[in-house]
Chain A
Amino acid sequence: MASQEILREEPSRGSFINDPRIRSLFFQTLVVILLFSSIWWIVHNVIENLQRLHIASGFGFLKSRAGFDISDTPIAYTSDSTYFRALVVGLLNTIIVAVAGIVLATVVGFTIGIGRLSQNWLIRKICTVYVEIFRNIPPLLVIFFWYSGVLAVLPAPRESIHLPFGSFLNQRGFYLPRVVWGDGSWLIGVALLLAIAMAWFVAHRARLRQKATGQQFPVFWTSVALIVGLPVLAFLLSGMPLTFDFPKQSTFNLTGGFWVKPEFLSLLLALSFYTAAFIAEIVRAGIRGVSRGQSEAAGALGLRSGPILRLVVIPQAMRIVIPPLTSQYLNLTKNSSLAIAIGYPDLTATAGTVLNQTGQAVEGVFIMMIAYLVLSLVTSFVMNIVNARMALVER
């Protein structure tokens, strides 16, 4: 190779102007000085301009009464709450839709991605069409598609579609019965936690035993039995302390029950279906990236195709998949700001309202930027930990 033939020259010591170390130091210092002075200059300019234009500035407004209502409030909020609390509500709504979207996008994306490699012609083609459609449409249009789809197709509240288990579907959203926990229902929670701990313990012992003796233990079915069985047992023992609050028809809407609004529903579906198309491609690339020799070798050892995928291919594919997956998660979180187009009260929407009611645009935009930055950094941080655990361990 040509690069190996280039000789390494000793740095010339002739003149300090030509000394690469001094030159690089000089330019780095220059850049730092320029950077900081321009930041200082911009900040100074903004403050001066705001004062000249008689525009109020500072973050004191955060403690004032907000005065407007928000449709989705995960924490207690009324028009008497502060602007700060309104922003927190917006941030929580963003986090809720982002987390739910990430989970759904991952499930759909992995399914479609594996489907694209299926032996079955029909499944393969359906998955390809899915990816090509959703990957090539702007996310905003996908959101509008779902939202107007929900509003146009579903009936008005008085003609709601009845679904099983007392749930309803109409233009105003999806209504489910809400579970009301009675006295003694804490037992069920305790039982669930206990079951999870026991399942983990069983899995741990089974792994050790397999290492020592080679014998396998049906960990999956034991865990299912534990996690389902124990809470059900607790439920029966504590005298079934559980009632349901069913949605009922009132003057305008259905009231009671658990209500998923169409804004949330369409945003969630749009974001996750859009991102799932990209995740599918990443998963496909990851699986393709594992050399055929690996699965052939596993086959030669007598493993069947299921365990080959689960034990040999996917763990290696994950190393390729996780870094680009992280950026898709970040994209999904940032794309959630498109919620503003359909009126889901996410951070951008509430901060926009706060910004407009107070007129303090600089502060409002600053808060939004910091919030999204922190969200993205936290996501990256978590994904880096996952990545480190998945990384190749040399033995």
Chain B
Amino acid sequence: MKHIALGILGAAALGFTASAASAGTLDTVKQKGFIQCGVSTGLAGFSAPDDKGDWKGIDADFCRAVAAAVFGDATKVKFTPLSAKERFTALQSGEIDILSRNTTWTSNRDSALGLDFVGVTYYDGQGFMINAKKLPGVNSALQLSGAAVCVQSGTTTELNLADYFKKNKMEYNPVVFEKLEEVNAAYDAGRCDAYTTDQSGLYGIRLTLSSPADHVVLPEIISKEPLGPAVRQGDDQWAHIARWTYFALLNAEEAGVTQANVDEMKTSTDPNIQRLLGTEPDGKYGADLGLSNDFVVNIVKAVGNYGEMFERNVGSGSPLKIARGINALWTKGGLQYGPPIR
């Protein structure tokens, strides 16, 4: 009897907590004093802990940028490592405030999962990696018929893989794991002939293999993978904050505002830069978002502009050495385009 009563109380408590996440995310975040940020369990260049346990990467830095925008302090962020399978539930249930975990923006995720994508922080595409030493003569994904392919479950990668082999009338044997580390270990041990994921990920994973030089990334890109952060659907204010943090990063790069010169730039008389940095007299673009007027200054001081963030984490300043390519600003022939602040 006593146990039944306790059971009912426990179940009731669970039900209550489920309905508590309805207050505005900005207020909740301000009240608890930090942003809970969902990241990957370790993908070099995007979100991976370094040897001191600090999270490094574009995705981790994006959360820092949001923290800088909200609190003026980029350290007010806590990271939750999530598997591909856990990520959406964690965001839906309010366990995290923002999901910044190399997640592909798709229509289904935007409409049926209760998510709202903020933008595309990295334009990616899916590719294949093979061990060239064990498979000499394979230099195209179209030669992979009959191969065993390692892939992480519950990803768009898994679906694109099935589509690609079906379209090209090839056979393959999927070897599917839930966690990234398990896929890496199985590929490294030789369980599969090929590894497939987003190309940026392949370069990052290659660095962690036992002999990186033996592995090559095949030239084919088989899908569009626009990766970006997402927030819960239905909280417009919070979505705007995340979205304009992203646009601020792009606009800062376009205007030439960097981590080093941001304080000098505050004295600029260019109205465009004045609006961006909140120095325009009577301007209240930050306040309208629910932030301080100088939120862009805080962001750039903390993580730099988009270009600096890119080069530091995946570009020339990192072991990955990925070229800007289509992730360059629109003014340089890329796809990154920040709507104006005015």
Q: State the A residues within 8 Å of B (CB).
A: 27, 31, 34-35, 38, 41-42, 45-46, 48-49, 52-56, 67-71, 78-80, 148, 151-152, 156, 158, 171-172, 250-253, 255, 262-263, 340-343, 345, 349, 352-353, 355-359, 361
Q: Please tell me if the beta carbons of A46 and B234 are within 8 angstroms of each other in the complex.
A: no
The residue of chain A having its C-beta at the shortest distance from the C-beta of B130 within the complex is A252
Q: Please tell me if the beta carbons of B148 and A355 are within 8 angstroms of each other in the complex.
A: no
CB-CB under 8 A from A255, the residues of chain B are: 146
Q: Please tell me if the beta carbons of B176 and A53 are within 8 angstroms of each other in the complex.
A: no
Please tell me which one of the listed residues A46, A172, A353 contacts residue B154 in the complex, with CB atoms under 8 A apart. A353
A and B contact pairs by CB, cutoff 8 A, 18 listed: A38-B12, A45-B19, A53-B232, A54-B114, A55-B113, A68-B158, A69-B158, A69-B165, A158-B134, A251-B146, A251-B147, A253-B147, A253-B173, A253-B193, A341-B178, A341-B182, A342-B182, A359-B88
Kindly state the separation between the CA atoms of A253 and B147 in the bound complex, as whole angstroms.
7
The A-B contact count (CB < 8 A) is 144
**Shortest CB–CB separation between residue B2 and chain A, in angstroms?**
11
Q: Please tell me if the beta carbons of A69 and B18 are within 8 angstroms of each other in the complex.
A: no
Q: Which of B161-212 contact A (CB under 8 A)?
A: 161-163, 165-166, 172-178, 182, 186, 189-191, 193
Q: Please tell me if the beta carbons of B146 and A352 are within 8 angstroms of each other in the complex.
A: no
If A52-B234, A152-B189, A343-B182 touch, whether A352 touches B154 (CB-CB below 8 Å) is yes
Kindly state the separation between the CA atoms of A67 and B153 in the bound complex, as whole angstroms.
12
Kindly state the separation between the CA atoms of A345 and B22 in the bound complex, as whole angstroms.
37
The residue of chain B having its C-beta at the shortest distance from the C-beta of A67 within the complex is B159
Q: Please tell me if the beta carbons of B193 and A252 are within 8 angstroms of each other in the complex.
A: yes
Q: State the B residues within 8 Å of A (CB).
A: 1, 4-5, 8, 11-12, 14-15, 18-19, 22, 84-85, 88-89, 92, 108-109, 112-114, 134-135, 143-148, 153-155, 158-159, 161-163, 165-166, 172-178, 182, 186, 189-191, 193, 232-234
The 4 closest A-B pairs by CB, nearest first: A356-B154, A359-B113, A79-B162, A56-B112
The residue of chain B having its C-beta at the shortest distance from the C-beta of A262 within the complex is B191
CB-CB under 8 A from B148, the residues of chain A are: 172, 252-253
CB-CB under 8 A from A359, the residues of chain B are: 88, 108-109, 112-114
Q: Please tell me if the beta carbons of A343 and B158 are within 8 angstroms of each other in the complex.
A: no
Kindly state the separation between the CA atoms of A78 and B176 in the bound complex, as whole angstroms.
15
Please tell me which one of the listed residues A78, A262, A342, A355 contacts residue B85 in the complex, with CB atoms under 8 A apart. A355
CB-CB under 8 A from B232, the residues of chain A are: 53
**Shortest CB–CB separation between residue A311 and chain B, in angstroms?**
46
Kindly state the separation between the CA atoms of A7 and B60 in the bound complex, as whole angstroms.
74
CB-CB under 8 A from A52, the residues of chain B are: 22, 234
Kindly state the separation between the CA atoms of A69 and B193 in the bound complex, as whole angstroms.
17
**Shortest CB–CB separation between residue B142 and chain A, in angstroms?**
13
CB-CB under 8 A from A343, the residues of chain B are: 175-178, 182, 186
Q: Please tell me if the beta carbons of B162 and A68 are within 8 angstroms of each other in the complex.
A: yes
**Shortest CB–CB separation between residue B28 and chain A, in angstroms?**
15
Q: Please tell me if the beta carbons of A250 and B114 are within 8 angstroms of each other in the complex.
A: no
Please tell me which one of the listed residues B112, B135, B193 contacts residue A55 in the complex, with CB atoms under 8 A apart. B112
Please tell me which one of the listed residues A35, A54, A67 contacts residue B162 in the complex, with CB atoms under 8 A apart. A67
Q: Please tell me if the beta carbons of A53 and B159 are within 8 angstroms of each other in the complex.
A: no
CB-CB under 8 A from A171, the residues of chain B are: 189-191
The residue of chain A having its C-beta at the shortest distance from the C-beta of B147 within the complex is A252
Given contacts A252-B148, A356-B155, A359-B88, 4 further A-B contacts (CB under 8 A): A78-B166, A79-B159, A251-B145, A355-B85
If A31-B4, A38-B12, A56-B112 touch, whether A345 touches B176 (CB-CB below 8 Å) is yes
Most chain B Cβ neighbours within 10 Å, of A41, A55, A80:
A55
If A68-B159, A69-B161, A151-B191 touch, whether A361 touches B166 (CB-CB below 8 Å) is no
Q: Please tell me if the beta carbons of A38 and B8 are within 8 angstroms of each other in the complex.
A: yes
**Shortest CB–CB separation between residue B44 and chain A, in angstroms?**
22
Q: Please tell me if the beta carbons of A45 and B11 are within 8 angstroms of each other in the complex.
A: no
CB-CB under 8 A from A172, the residues of chain B are: 148, 191
Kindly state the separation between the CA atoms of A55 and B8 in the bound complex, as whole angstroms.
27
Kindly state the separation between the CA atoms of A27 and B233 in the bound complex, as whole angstroms.
44
Q: Please tell me if the beta carbons of A41 and B176 are within 8 angstroms of each other in the complex.
A: no
The residue of chain B having its C-beta at the shortest distance from the C-beta of A361 within the complex is B89
Q: Please tell me if the beta carbons of A356 and B88 are within 8 angstroms of each other in the complex.
A: yes
Kindly state the separation between the CA atoms of A255 and B232 in the bound complex, as whole angstroms.
47
Q: Please tell me if the beta carbons of B92 and A55 are within 8 angstroms of each other in the complex.
A: yes
CB-CB under 8 A from B112, the residues of chain A are: 55-56, 358-359
The residue of chain A having its C-beta at the shortest distance from the C-beta of B171 within the complex is A255
Q: Please tell me if the beta carbons of B189 and A349 are within 8 angstroms of each other in the complex.
A: no
Kindly state the separation between the CA atoms of A361 and B186 in the bound complex, as whole angstroms.
27
Q: Please tell me if the beta carbons of A353 and B234 are within 8 angstroms of each other in the complex.
A: no
Q: Please tell me if the beta carbons of A35 and B146 are within 8 angstroms of each other in the complex.
A: no
Please tell me which one of the listed residues B84, B178, B234 contacts residue A340 in the complex, with CB atoms under 8 A apart. B178
Kindly state the separation between the CA atoms of A78 and B89 in the bound complex, as whole angstroms.
27
Kindly state the separation between the CA atoms of A68 and B152 in the bound complex, as whole angstroms.
11
CB-CB under 8 A from A352, the residues of chain B are: 85, 153-154, 178
Kindly state the separation between the CA atoms of A52 and B108 in the bound complex, as whole angstroms.
17
Most chain B Cβ neighbours within 10 Å, of A48, A68, A251, A361:
A68
CB-CB under 8 A from B172, the residues of chain A are: 69
Q: Please tell me if the beta carbons of B114 and A69 are within 8 angstroms of each other in the complex.
A: no
Q: Please tell me if the beta carbons of A53 and B174 are within 8 angstroms of each other in the complex.
A: no
If A27-B1, A359-B108 touch, whether A42 touches B85 (CB-CB below 8 Å) is no
Please tell me which one of the listed residues B88, B92, B146 contacts residue A253 in the complex, with CB atoms under 8 A apart. B146
Kindly state the separation between the CA atoms of A38 and B10 in the bound complex, as whole angstroms.
10
If A45-B18, A172-B191, A252-B148 touch, whether A71 touches B234 (CB-CB below 8 Å) is no
The residue of chain B having its C-beta at the shortest distance from the C-beta of A35 within the complex is B8
Kindly state the separation between the CA atoms of A148 and B177 in the bound complex, as whole angstroms.
14
Q: Please tell me if the beta carbons of A71 and B174 are within 8 angstroms of each other in the complex.
A: yes
Kindly state the separation between the CA atoms of A78 and B172 in the bound complex, as whole angstroms.
12
Q: Please tell me if the beta carbons of A41 and B12 are within 8 angstroms of each other in the complex.
A: yes
Please tell me which one of the listed residues B19, B85, B135, B176 contacts residue A71 in the complex, with CB atoms under 8 A apart. B176
